[in-house]
Amino acid sequence: MNEHILKVDNLTKKFNDFLAVDSLNFSVIRNEIFGFLGPNGAGKTTTINMLTGLARPTSGSIYFREMDYTAHIKKAQEIIGIVPDDSNLYEELDAFQNLCFCASLYGIRKSERESRARSLLQQFHLSEAGKKPFKFYSKGMKRKLTIAAGIIHQPSILFLDEPTTGIDVASARQIRSLIKNLNTAGTTIFMTTHYIEEAERLCHRIAFIVKGQIIKIGSVNELMEDVQKDRIIQFSFDNDVTLDQFDQDFCRQFQQCSFERISESVIRLRSSKALDLMPFMTFFDSRGIKIIEAKIIKPSLEEVFVKVTGIERELMRKDKESKKA
Amino acid sequence: MKTVIAFWNILLKDMRNYYLKPPNISWGIIFPFAWMLMLFLKSQTPVDVRTILAGVMAMSILFGTTSMLAVTITFERRSRSFERLLLSPISLTWLMLAKTLGAILFGIVNAFVPVFIALFFTSLSNIDWAIVFVSIIFIAITSTFLGLFIAVSVSEVFEAQTFSNFFRFPMVFLCGLFIPVSQLPVFLRLLSYLVPLTYGADLLKIAINRNGHIAEAISFPVLLAFSVILFLISKRNIQHRWIY
């Protein structure tokens, strides 16, 4: 039987009249990576803050290992590990000192915390670089050490808030691999992200959260069921072409499929039935629209997200860019 | 036992990270020394050094503790490392006591710098050292909790500095160090009794010069009450402002 490490019932957070998190219901199963996917301002961090004790729920219940901790989340903090979206270790301390200090906050004795710190530094490849004060680390190193600090007390569940946001590609890859390894070693992980590909690659189950509400929840395969039958063709046109001219004609002629603009000169056609390229080629050709590329797109989680939430790719992209900035 | 380990390590980290840094140590010595020198140059006889000692000790504690605590907590809050403490299983009361104990000890050590300097200029005989020591502890506690109150009321380090001065300078002039409380206009006199430093400085005056005007039996409970109230307000502020 699947054991629920975390269960949330009707979790709600209001800031005056603003409903930041609206009646969330979900559970996290032991040994899984559970992803919370949504754009900026969706309520991801507020949810994590409520689950970890940095925010008080307006209503609802939080259960860890089947016990209700809503009113006294402090007692649950021993079994929780937290890695915030921004590294929050001590600038003046080096890696070893930071890890030892974090372990001491959980009442771990000196010999034990030193041994755990050494082992984590080795595991995270920070033994050498970690001798410098934290303030001199790269963003990737900072994030890795923050993750190490989050697990030094061997928590039952680790909360990762946007673990790869704002760091370079190589470090992001390392961190994803670390997350995988941690999970393989038995750590249950709850992570928030707005990188759809990251959620798809790492998470066993994903919840889409938009405007404080969970829109859909399930395993990647379950979520993909909605779009797996879809046939998608992407056309790229000559840059000079404006596509406004054919919108209505197109909808009239190809009623079996929908189309979506990806950019000014790129569209995607989607249908639940097999698509024949020729009628489209003829249609564009008759309107003097020059096709420079046509390709079949394999449906991805991004398609599901867009379909379910109605949030445009462009918005998520802007989110990513603003977060990076 | 877990709480003790966490408490001790928070205290130790703060002492190493903030209080035992060379700039702070030098500041802790220079500040009282500057006050002493300034007032000594104005005084005429060795007895005068003894007269000003209580005031300099009180100011050294007040400025040392409020500055350090207000700045370190605000700084940790800005860098989000304070969040790490809030997310650990140590209770908020113990956490705040661990954060403030370092500043209290720093204040106590600061108070003895003027004493050490005064030794070179005057005799320190006939001083009730027991009252001096207890008074120093009480002034350090109330000043630290005042610093804590300031730290949790602001979000920027510069705000902490400004806000600290908003309290500190009026307190210095109201507590009877420069102008005896009895000579203050009535409304300022009333205000001076709302300032914890008035009671602390008066206790030191009693212990050093036997010229205080408030009974010890009043000053000690009042200082204790100030400490408890400031601590509870700060705790409430953290619970409401930082755990939103």
Instruction: Write down the pLDDT at residue B44.
Output: 63
Q: Does B13 touch chain A (CB under 8 A)?
A: yes
Partner residue facing B5 (CB), from A49, A56, A107: A107
What letter would DSSP give residue A243? G
Partner residue facing B83 (CB), from A54, A106, A107: A54
Query: How many Cβ atoms from other residues are within 10 Å of residue A176's Cβ?
Result: 16
Q: What is the mean pLDDT of residues A245-271?
A: 78
Give the pair of three-digit tokens for residue A22: 């609206």
Give CA–CA dist A163/A147, Å, rounded: 9
Q: Which residue of B has its CA nearest to A15?
A: B244
Q: Provide the Cα torsion A150, A155, A156, A160; round to 10°.
A: -10
Instruction: Write down the pLDDT at residue A191.
Output: 93
- Exposure of A275 in the CB half-sphere (CA atoms within 13 A): 25
Are B89 and A89 in contact (CB < 8 Å)? no
Give the pair of three-digit tokens for residue A154: 């061997």
pLDDT over 90 at A96, yes or no: yes
Helix, strand, or coil (residue B106): helix
Q: pTM score, two decimals?
A: 0.81
Instruction: Write down the pLDDT at residue A263.
Output: 78
Decide: A14 and A204 in contact? Cβ < 8 Å.
Answer: no
pLDDT over 70 at A316, yes or no: no
Task: Give B75-78 contacts, CB < 8 A, sequence gap 24+.
Answer: B75/B157, B77/B151, B77/B155, B77/B242, B78/B155, B78/B156, B78/B157
- Exposure of B88 in the CB half-sphere (CA atoms within 13 A): 30
Please tell me the distance in Å from B107's CA to the nearest CA on chain A. 23
All structural domains of chain A, each given as residue ranges with its CATH number in brackets, are: 4-225 (3.40.50.300), 227-324 (3.30.70.1560)
Query: How many Cβ atoms from other residues are within 10 Å of residue B56's Cβ?
Result: 28
What letter would DSSP give residue A2? P
Please tell me the distance in Å from A145's CA to the nearest CA on chain B. 14
DSSP-derived pairing of the beta strands A266-271 and A231-237: antiparallel
Give CA–CA dist B65/B106, Å, rounded: 7
Decide: A194 and A320 in contact? Cβ < 8 Å.
Answer: yes
Instruction: Write down the pLDDT at residue A6.
Output: 93
Mutate which: A104, A112, A143, vs B, most B CBs within 10 A: A104
DSSP letter string over A258-305?
A: EEEEEETTEEEEEESS---HHHHHHHHHHTTPPEEEEEEE---HHHHH
Residue with tokens 């036997």: B210
Q: What is the per-residue pLDDT across B108-127, written as a single tens digit (0 to 9) for each?
A: 988 888 888 888 877 878 88
Q: What is the per-residue pLDDT across A198-213, written as a single tens digit (0 to 9) for each?
A: 888 899 999 998 889 9
Give CA–CA dist A42/A98, Å, rounded: 32
Instruction: Write down the pLDDT at residue A10.
Output: 93
Instruction: Write down the pLDDT at residue A52.
Output: 92
- Residue ranges in chain B whose pLDDT is less than 70: 23-29, 32, 36, 40, 42-47
ipTM over 0.95: no
Strand residue runs (E) in A38-187 = 59-64, 67-68, 80-83, 157-161
Name the nearest CA neighbour of A223 among A196, A205, A211: A205
Are B83 and A106 in contact (CB < 8 Å)? no
Q: What is the mean pLDDT of residues A25-40?
A: 91
Q: Given CA atoms B189, B190, B196, B199 in this order, what sign does their dihedral have?
A: positive
Are A107 and B83 in contact (CB < 8 Å)? no
